[in-house]
Amino acid sequence: MVPVRRREWVYRPVIRIAITLFRVLGFRFDLRGVENVPRDGGAVLASNHVSYFDFMFVGYMAHRRGRRLVRFMAKQAVFSHPIGGPLMRGMRHIPVDRAAGAGAYRHAVDALRAGELVGVFPESTISRSYVPRRLKSGAARMALEAGVPLIPVVTWGGHRVWTVGRRPVWKRRVAVSIWVDEPLAINPGETAATLTDRLAVRLRELVDKVLSEYPDLPDGSHGAAWWLPHHVGGSAPTPHEAAEAEAAAIAARAERRRR
């Protein structure tokens, strides 16, 4: 199916603003695998999630490939924000209501079948340990049902500037890695569960590979870096500690709403 071309009154100016922000911050990009983004047709871009920049980073890779626009799936709360909400709706991203996710799923599958790129963060939220969390199966299910490629993506470095649970640190010249992997081969009779498991393994492998080549790793003389995962010598929370922090944050938000 050929996608319907509509004027993008909001999305294209936002892309220009994002690229300008990248220049102002002077991000030192390590971009790999741009050629793995298909030139046409639908595909699921399934990314890890460590920073508030990740939407822009994944979209930037599609932009470099000439695809321009990615429809991202995001929590309903993002669409309820007084500033972010109108922008998200204007860019025709896909709101996910966790109490009624079937509508968002159908919307995404329809977009894929119409030849669009759909961006998904299968961890469903930012990882506070900076290593991939347990994945939801939606990305795999959509790729299988729509018959489109499932493409792993890893971003790294943006969390040093702006991430969950920490105030933004608007420092310049931070190294940012964005790697797009080859599409996962779909095995005969593959289920969403097994495909999700393989996606999880690949994302962890890619994160470790990115870490091994990241240019700004500290030498240890100034203590462990807060933004480096615990298993490689950083002082980031362990996955267990991160899960506890996430649960506490959810409880605190619920209490604020109750009050």
Q: How far apart are CA 38 and CA 102, in angstroms?
A: 27
What pLDDT is attached to residue 7? 66
What pLDDT is attached to residue 118? 97
Sequence-separated (6 or more) residues with CB below 8 Å from residue 209 = 179
Cβ–Cβ < 8 Å for 155, 211: no
pLDDT surpassing 90 at residue 154 = yes
Would residue 146 count as lying in a domain? yes
Q: What is the mean pLDDT of the chain?
A: 91
pLDDT surpassing 80 at residue 216 = yes
What pLDDT is attached to residue 42? 97
Would residue 143 count as lying in a domain? yes
User: What Å distances lie between residue 25 and 158, 171, 172, CA to CA?
Assistant: 11, 7, 5
When mean pLDDT is compared across 39-53, 63-77, 113-127, 229-243, the lowest value belongs to 63-77
What pLDDT is attached to residue 130? 98
Q: State mean pLDDT over 44-73.
A: 95
Read off the tokens for 65: 């490939």
Would residue 204 count as lying in a domain? yes
Half-sphere exposure of 241 (CA within 13 A, CB side): 11
Phi-psi region of 27 (alpha: psi -120 to 50; beta: other; left: phi over 0): beta
Would residue 174 count as lying in a domain? yes
What pLDDT is attached to residue 220? 67
The CATH number given to whatever domain includes residue 16 is: 3.40.1130.10
**Burial environment of residue 227 by CB neighbours within 10 A (0 to 12, 13 to 18, 19 or more):** buried
Q: State mean pLDDT over 99-120.
A: 89
Would residue 118 count as lying in a domain? yes
Would residue 2 count as lying in a domain? no
Identify the residue with better confidence: 144 or 76.
Answer: 144
What pLDDT is attached to residue 83? 67
Residue-wise pLDDT for 3-31, tens only, equals: 445 667 788 898 999 999 999 999 999 99
Would residue 230 count as lying in a domain? no
pLDDT surpassing 90 at residue 173 = yes
pLDDT surpassing 60 at residue 1 = no
Read off the tokens for 254: 């619920």
What pLDDT is attached to residue 2? 43
Domain count, the chain: 1
Range of 158's domain? 11-220
DSSP one-letter string for the chain: -PPPP---TTHHHHHHHHHHHHHHHT-EEEEE-GGGS-SSS-EEEEE---STTHHHHHHHHHHHHT---EEEEEEHHHHHSTTHHHHHHHTT-EEE-TTSTHHHHHHHHHHHHTT-EEEE-TTSS--TTSS--PPPSHHHHHHHHHT--EEEEEEESGGGTS-TTS-----SS-EEEEEEPPPPPPPTT--HHHHHHHHHHHHHHHHHHHHHH-TT---STT---TTS-GGGT--SPPHHHHHHHHHHHHHHHHHHHH-
Would residue 4 count as lying in a domain? no
What pLDDT is attached to residue 65? 96
Residue-wise pLDDT for 74-102, tens only, equals: 877 777 777 677 778 788 888 887 665 67
Q: State mean pLDDT over 119-125.
A: 96
Model confidence at 218, in pLDDT bands (50, 70, 90)?
Answer: confident
Pairing verdict, β 94-96 and 70-75: parallel
